[in-house]
């Protein structure tokens, strides 16, 4: 860790990452609330720890059909990602990723990838940091390196859970990752949308 932090000397402080104390979303499918996606940001000097918790449950007539849980922790020093650890369970199918900085290199292992050194500008798909759009992405589920195509769409308001319209930039990612992302004018994550295997859409409403 000391070597990793030394490599970050002179980088911008965590405040440049546009990190609020917390960020939470309601997950919606067919107009039904199916879960929560919550990020908690813990600053300590130039170090920022980000805890991610996702819990979703889809039912039919009170019978569980899909259960999804995700737990992740990112550690940043200045503007540099130092480590990522995450576990994901989809209907009891377990996935994981671990990434640690070794000097200037971020070394990644995961449940669906061999060990590799991530490109310098690669970030994990926790989505809160808009900088991830500028380079390859490390899957927070299984560690696979993703390089989706990214299209910037016209700015348009996105509705929060309270019904407030949030002016936001809009991006569509396709290829190995098919999602839509919105960021407000302060570069804060404002919305998310993706299609699941049955063809239905899950979208996020910021709380």
Q: Could you read off the pLDDT of 34-53 as tens digits, one per residue?
A: 999 999 999 999 999 999 99
* Domain assignments of the chain as residue spans, ordered by start: 2-206
CB atoms within 10 A of CB 152: 10
Task: Name beta bridge partners: 156.
Answer: 168
Asked whether the beta carbons of 63 and 46 are under 8 A apart, the reply is: no
Check residue 30 and report its DSSP letter.
Answer: T
- What pLDDT sits at residue 188? 95
The Cα 40–Cα 92 span in angstroms is 25
Read off φ and ψ for residue 19, nearest 5 degrees.
-105, 120
Q: How confident is the model at residue 6 (pLDDT cuts 50, 70, 90)?
A: very low
């Amino acid at each position: 860790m000391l070597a990793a932090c030394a490599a970050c000397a002179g980088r911008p402080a965590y405040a440049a990452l546009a990190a609020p104390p917390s960020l939470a979303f309601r997950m919606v499918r067919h107009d039904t609330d199916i879960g929560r996606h919550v990020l908690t940001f813990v600053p300590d000097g130039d170090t920022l720890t980000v805890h991610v918790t996702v819990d979703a449950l889809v039912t039919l007539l009170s019978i569980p059909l899909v259960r999804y849980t995700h737990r992740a922790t990112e550690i940043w020093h200045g503007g540099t990602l130092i480590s990522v650890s995450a576990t994901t369970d989809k209907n009891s199918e377990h996935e994981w990723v671990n990434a640690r900085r070794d000097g200037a290199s971020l070394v990644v292992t995961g449940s669906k990838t061999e060990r590799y050194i991530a490109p310098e500008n690669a970030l994990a798909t926790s989505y809160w940091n808009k900088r991830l759009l500028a380079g390859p992405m490390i899957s927070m589920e299984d560690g696979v390196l993703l390089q989706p195509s990214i299209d910037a769409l016209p700015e348009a308001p996105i509705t929060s859970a309270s019904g407030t319209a949030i002016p936001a930039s809009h991006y569509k990612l396709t290829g190995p990752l098919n999602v839509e992302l919105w960021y407000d004018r302060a570069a804060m994550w404002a919305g998310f949308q993706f299609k699941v295997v049955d063809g239905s859409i899950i979208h996020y409403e910021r709380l």
